[in-house]
Structure 1
């Protein structure tokens, strides 16, 4: 089988806004969601920079039993998924009557693990850890909890692929539907924002130390970039088989047409050029497109010196001659880690829906490789039909997704 796969709903809980409308406005304005976390200063972090995000209050929305198993990123994922389901016109009755799956990217759940170990060491009594701890601390916490809360009966597992996790989750959902194994899958990515989850990253000096002006700290592709700004939240998209979506009168937002992937087979933390190039090439082949047919590229670019340099070389191989517009929304959001591959599909979808390209803010001075790309540093009005989005991660995992506005046949 080779079925068409469409996006019928999206939801977001991000440092740019707590819903699609707020996020769309922030993207247009080039508004940064980055600030200083006092807790990180108190904990002795080298960099206290982070995306700033308020946790939702789910009391009165979910029962205590449902809340007790949800960690921070699970709360974000619940919020983004409820918005996505509403926009896809999938209510409780639809979920009861149809087999809907869930695939989420998530690669850590630090706080519940740390708190449980602290309690065991202090009290010497595992009974005091609490019944919800295990469900919060497993990497599969998001899919585990949401599948029960929403009573889902389709595919149900979590993808841990470092900072490509959210993108791979969407890619796997796409493949399952394309092959006829599922009709509808909730896909997304979720990332905790707390300080404890970022201590080891801070310890290897991965983060920007430009703390005087937090909004200017994250500088993808800029010659003066000095590292990542960590961030998080959650993003959800509803993927469906085209024919079933049309049959039920679903709002069709776009069509996924390409998924590419690769492994660098090289250094565990330093990306290379070959792996990203093969991921992009595979996505273009899957979509049946040439690089000149891509209207916009949402780059992975996290503002690390080597990572951005190598991605720029990979992108230039395909898009230098075409002068295709490129930007990294991480300049505004920071690096949303396990969530980023999913959120950046939504950011790109909002741009396509509203005919603009969000800026790569803080891009002031190109280096030798980013100078070869058409990097957009101010909001630009533009009709967008086809988008390519990159996500790369530790261990050399790469994912590339391509979507387009729906073309009926």
Structure 2
């Protein structure tokens, strides 16, 4: 018998804030987390725009000998997970006595890899890499660190699926719990925010060059969009079966209704319409959800010309005459990449629980393709009980999740 899957805790480390309350307020007021970085400009970036993310201090929580295994993204993920576990009322004594798993999205460890190999090349000695370098430089660095730090004995898995990584981590957790293979899984996504991690993106001119207006640079769906803005941080959700949550007296925030996924089977970087549309279609079908049940769509839209256009056409194709409200929170955060699929679930849940839709800031004029959508440009106070969130990534990997209020 399939089990209901619920979300009982959330934690966030974002350019919009590092607590749920601060992030909720930032969403409501339309705050942008985007800044101009002189460091990036001096280093040779074509675009020096990025998200402004606070660096965490782990010294009060983790010893120095354990911190050496943790790159930037694992540090963000640790803080987000601490907060999510507290929110879910899931303490260490309970974790020690039960099987709790972790599935986390991460698809790079660029800075730590670069530093260790730079040391090797400079000193011509492999020991110069450092004893923690191998653990910092693997894509699975987040799950291996968090599993050890929190003593997690359930599934231990990294989802590396480009910008769908965080969403697929949540989707996989949903699937395992739904089918009775796990009772409780910590899941989410993390993204390193250092300049080295996105230098190659800048090199292929993926980023907006609206440097004189940092807060207006990320403008999903707008006719004058000229590229994305890189972000980062981490987002953690505690996901468990409804029965497990009730049994331990956990606060239930929302229920995961369905997960849909697809591959484009096409170009490695240029998206099509059919792949995203198939992901949406399967998510609705798998959850037996009618389009008119969806009160809000959190779009993947990253502020790129082709990506936004293709997604707009895919959403329009699936929703037809029903003009569901659509926004992209990336207008405020920039593109949080491996983290985005998880963080955008948290942003949308915060909206749903507080009866508003955060405006798609900087949306002033649609183009021929994006005009088919009902894009909400300013914060709108409204009630909705179910939303759909899209995440699409390089290689044509697509993930769609539907969540409902409880």
Bin of the TM-score, shorter chain as denominator length = over 0.9
Counterpart CA distance in 2 for 1:351 and 1:192 is 26
What residue number does 2:369 align with? 369
Residue 386 of structure 1 pairs with residue 391 of structure 2: no
Aligned equivalents of 2:265, 2:333: Cα separation in 1 = 29
Pairing 1:100–2:100 present = yes
Give the C-alpha shift of residue 318 in structure 1.
2.4
Q: What's 2:228 paired with?
A: 228
2:180 aligned partner: 180
1:306 corresponds to: 306
CA apart distance, 1:247: 1.4
Deviations 1:104-162 (A, max 9, x none): 00000001110011111100111121111111100000000000000000000101000
TM-score, normalization by structure 2: 0.99
Residue 319 of structure 1 and its aligned partner are, at CA, apart by 2.8
CA distance in 1, matches of 2:52, 2:188: 20
The residue that corresponds to 2:43 in the other structure is 43
- Secondary structure at the aligned position of 2:395 is classed as helix
Number of residue pairs the alignment of both structures matches:
406
1:67-82 mapped onto 2 (5 Å cutoff): 67-82=67-82
Equivalent pair of 1:30/1:332 in contact (CA under 8 Å)? yes
* Counterpart position of 1:281: 281
Q: Alpha-carbon deviations, 1:211-237, whole Å to 9, x = none?
A: 000000001000000001000000000
Q: CA RMSD in A?
A: 0.7
The structural deviation recorded for 1:179 is: 0.5
Say whether the 8 Å CA contact 1:320–1:373 is kept in structure 2. no
* Partner SS for 1:73: helix
CA distance in 2, matches of 1:298, 1:57: 31
Q: 5+ unaligned residues in a row in structure 1: which ranges? A: none
1:326 counterpart = 2:340: no
Q: Say if 1:320 and 1:374, in contact at 8 Å, map to a contact too.
A: no
Q: Which runs of 4+ in 1 moved over 2 A?
A: none
Question: Does the 8 A contact of 1:88 with 1:250 survive in 2?
Answer: yes
Q: Offset at 1:60?
A: 2.2
In the other structure, the counterpart of 1:146 is: 146
In 2, the alpha carbon distance for the partners of 1:31 and 1:267 equals 35
- CA drift of 1:58 comes to 0.8
CA contact (8 A) 1:320 1:372 kept: no
Aligned partners of 2:22 and 2:117: how far apart in 1?
38
Displacement of 1:320 in angstroms is: 4.5
Residues 259-296 of structure 1, C-alpha deviation per residue, up to 9 Å, x if partnerless?
Answer: 00000000000000000000000100111111111000
Partner of 1:9: 9
CA distance in 2, matches of 1:75, 1:19: 16
In structure 1, how many angstroms separate the alpha carbons of the residues matched to 2:266 and 2:125?
44
**Aligned partners of 1:270, 1:225: CA distance in 2, in Å?**
17
C-alpha distance after superposition, 1:165-196 (max 9, x if no partner): 00000000000000100000000000000000
Residues in 2 aligned to 1:405 and 1:65: alpha-carbon distance in whole angstroms: 42
Distance of 1:76 and 1:59 partners within structure 2: 13
1:349-405 residue CA offsets vs partner (Å, 9 max, x unmatched): 000100000010000011112111110010000111000000000000000000001
Distance in structure 2 (CA, Å) of the matches to 1:378 and 1:139: 37
Decide which moves more: 395-404 or 318-327.
Answer: 318-327
Partner Cα distance (1:320, 1:221) in 2: 18
- Separation (CA, whole Å) in 2 of partners of 1:119 and 1:87: 41
What's 2:258 paired with? 258
Counterpart in the other structure of 1:167? 167
Task: State the 1:210 CA deviation.
Answer: 0.4
SS of the equivalent of 1:395 reads coil
Take 1:69 and 1:42, find their aligned partners in 2: how far apart are those partners?
30
Map residues 194-205 of structure 1 onto 2, 5 A cutoff: 194-205=194-205
Unaligned runs of 5+ in 2: none
Verify the 8 A CA contact 1:319 1:373 in the aligned structure 2.
no
Mapped to 1, the partners of 2:37 and 2:315 lie a distance apart of: 34
**Counterparts of 1:123 and 1:116 in 2: how far apart (Å)?**
11
Post-superposition CA distance 1:43-73 (Å, at most 9, x none)? 1110000011121011121111221111001
Whether 2:134 is the aligned partner of 1:155: answer no
Q: 1:320 to 1:376 in 2, by over 3 A?
A: farther
Q: What is the TM-score normalised by the length of structure 1? A: 0.98
